[in-house]
Structure 1
Amino acid sequence: MRSKNGTTTTTEVYAGLTDEQLNAIDRAVGSQVRLRRILLGLSQEAVSKVLGLTFQQLQKYEHGTNRISGSRLFQLSLILHCPVSFFFETVEVEGGLVAAQRAHEAVAAADEIPSDLMRKRKTVELVRAFYAIEHVNERNAVLALLKTIAKAPA
């Protein structure tokens, strides 16, 4: 749709997204919901209870199987103490293409890290514990120790 002056409207720019691209956005948003919930140490049961949902429905949101409505995203932002925009931080729409999933996969492949690594509870717990260490020198020592252990033969 073009405006009277011949410029492209917002509706036209975003209307060109494919189902695959929209599904990638749903997965990215759901992944952010899960990440934030885990960072706060909340269970699916606790969050779903406040939302008035089953934990299975929350699981479907977190995996991007079911799309989250705007009002539900707003509710989640209140429960998870973050702005609604947080859920879209990994989504980038450029020229009608969703770049978030491609960028995430490229980074994971480049580092030879499984793409779902940040979705694992232990990874999030490790990151949380690491940044809970106040002094930079101590964090650097822990990092050096982990690298040494990782290189050691099993």
Structure 2
Amino acid sequence: MTHPVDVHVGKRVRHRRWLIGMTQQQLAEKVGIKFQQIQKYETGANRVSASRLWDIADALEVPVAFFFEGLSDDHKPAENTQAIPSDILGDKEALDLVRSYYAIPEHQRRRLFDLARVLSDVA
């Protein structure tokens, strides 16, 4: 049986990998393991050791704490009080949107953000 923390950490690995446009194979090569092991980590089927998590964090250019963000004290994902799905980063389309957003030059990105906020206010 998988532990909720292992599943959460695996999701965060997958989310970050998707966000930066890295494949499982590329991550596996950077970490020095087979891509099948990355698959098992991402599903929570296998628990990530501390040293391996350190290597993954380095390869994904995030602090180790990144993988635990969003967990509450009872080891369950924290409830989000906004009207956003709790697993928004699990949605490939949402991740593609975020990746595309950050590819836009900053001054244009700010204008797009302002537009999106206005549109969401009138919706």
TMscore range, shorter length: 0.7 to 0.9
- What is aligned with 1:129? 100
Count of residues in Structure 1 that have an aligned counterpart in Structure 2:
118
Q: TM-score w.r.t. structure 1 length?
A: 0.63
Structure 1 unaligned spans of 5+: 1-18
Q: Which has the larger radius of gyration?
A: 1
Give the Å deviation of 1:146: 7.7
Give the Å deviation of 1:111: 3.1
Matches of residues 4-153 of structure 1 in structure 2 within 5 Å? 23-93=3-73, 97-98=74-75, 100-101=76-77, 103=79, 107=80, 111=83, 113=85, 115-133=86-104, 134-135=106-107, 136-141=110-115, 143=116
CA contact (8 A) 2:89 2:95 kept: yes
Q: Equivalent residue of 2:77, what SS?
A: helix
CA contact (8 A) 2:71 2:78 kept: no
The 1:137/1:52 distance shift into structure 2, 3 A limit, reads: closer
Q: TM-score w.r.t. structure 2 length?
A: 0.77
**In structure 2, what is the Cα distance between the partners aligned to 1:79 and 1:112?**
29
CA contact (8 A) 1:34 1:62 kept: yes
The 1:51/1:132 distance shift into structure 2, 3 A limit, reads: closer
